[in-house]
Amino acid sequence: MSAIAKDSPTLAPRPSGGVTQSVKDSLVVAKRNLIRMTRIPEMILFGVIQPVMFVVLFTYVFGGSISIGGSTDPQRYKEFLMAGIFAQTVTFATAGAGAGIADDMHKGLIDRFRSLPMARGAVLTGRTLADLVQTTLTLVVLAGVALLVGWRTHENIGKVLCGFLLLLFLGYAFSWIGALIGLSVRTPEAATSGGLIWLFPLTFISNAFVPVNGMPTFLQHVAEWNPFSATVAGARELFGNTMPGVPKTVTGAWPMEHPIIASLLWSALIIVVFRTLAVRKYRSATA
C-alpha cells in the first residue's frame, strides 16, 4: 500500500493568488462578459444612442447661444464641447457597470464565482475590463458622429489618441465606483439610480459644457478641483481644442494649470481607493 501510495501522482492545488493567476482569472471573466454583451446587442446599441443624442442636442440647441471666449460662433462651441461630451460618456458607463454587478449578485452568479479557486479581485477586474471595451467602442462611434457635426482636432494623431486614452483611464477609474455601488445595493435598478444620481452634479459643475468663469465664485472652486474637469481640460489640450479668451483657471487651481498630470493622478487615486473598497465589499457581500 505504501509503495502504491508513493508511486501515485499527486495533483498540485491550483494557485489562488499571485499576479499571473489574477491576470488569467480576470481575462477569463472579462471574456465571459464580452461574450454576454455580443449576445445582447441592445446593451451596446442603447449605450451609443444616448451620447449621440447629447452631441446632436448640445451642438444644435446650445451651439449658437453660449459665448466661448467672447464669441457665439457655433464652431467654437463644438470644439469646446466635445471633450466634455466624451468625458460624460465614459463616466456615465459607471451606472451600467454597477447595474451589471448588481444583476450578477441578484442571480447568485457572484456566489458561484466565489466558490471557484480563483483570485478574489478577478471577478470585479474582469467586469471592469469588459466595460472598458464597451466604452471604447462607444467612444469610437461618438468620435465619428462628432466629426460629422463639425468637430475638428488641431494636434497630431499621437496627441489625439493620448487624449482618448486619458478619457478612457477616467472611465475605467469610475467603473470601480460603479462596482462598489453594485455590490452595495440589492437590485440592478437601485444600482442604476445610485450610479447616476451623483454623476449629474459632478459633470455639470465642471468645465465640460460652459466656461467656469461664468459660475458663482464658490462653484468655480468646486469645478476647478473636480477630477472630471481636469480630464476635460487635459483632453482639450491634447485635441488642440483650447479656446482663445477662455482662461485655463480663474481660481488659480493647480489641476487646471496642469490638467493632464492632474487627470492621471485623480484617476489613479480613484482606482486605488475604490478597487480596494470594492474587493473588500465583494468578500463580505458574498460571504
Q: Which helix (H) or strand (E) holds 50?
A: helix 41-57
Question: Phi/psi at 115 (nearest 5 deg)?
Answer: -75, -10
Stated pTM of the model: 0.86
Distance in angstroms (rounded) separating the CA atoms of residues 239 and 287: 47
Q: How many residues make up the chain in this entry?
A: 287
Contact between 149 and 55 under an 8 Å Cβ cutoff? The reply is yes
Average pLDDT over residues 88-113: 82
Query: Is residue 1 very low, low, confident or very high in pLDDT (cuts 50, 70, 90)?
Result: very low
11's enclosing H/E stretch is none
Confidence of residue 56 (pLDDT cuts 50, 70, 90): confident
Pairwise CA distance, residues 46 & 133, whole Å: 15
Going by pLDDT thresholds of 50, 70 and 90, the confidence category of residue 17 is low
3-class secondary structure, 71:
strand
- Between 32 and 5, residue with greater pLDDT: 32
The three cell numbers of residue 59 are: 451642438
Phi, psi for 68 (deg, rounded to 5) = -120, 110
134: cell is 464597451
Percent of the chain as helix, strand, coil, to the nearest 5: 75, 0, 25
| Residue 213 per-residue DSSP state | G
Q: Dihedrals φ, ψ of 87, to 5°?
A: -65, -40
- CB neighbours of residue 208 within 10 Å: 28
Whether 4 has a pLDDT exceeding 80, the answer reads no
Closest-CA residue to 179 (of 107, 98, 239, 255): 98
Contact by Cβ (8 Å): 80, 240 = no
- CA 119 – CA 22 distance, rounded (Å): 5
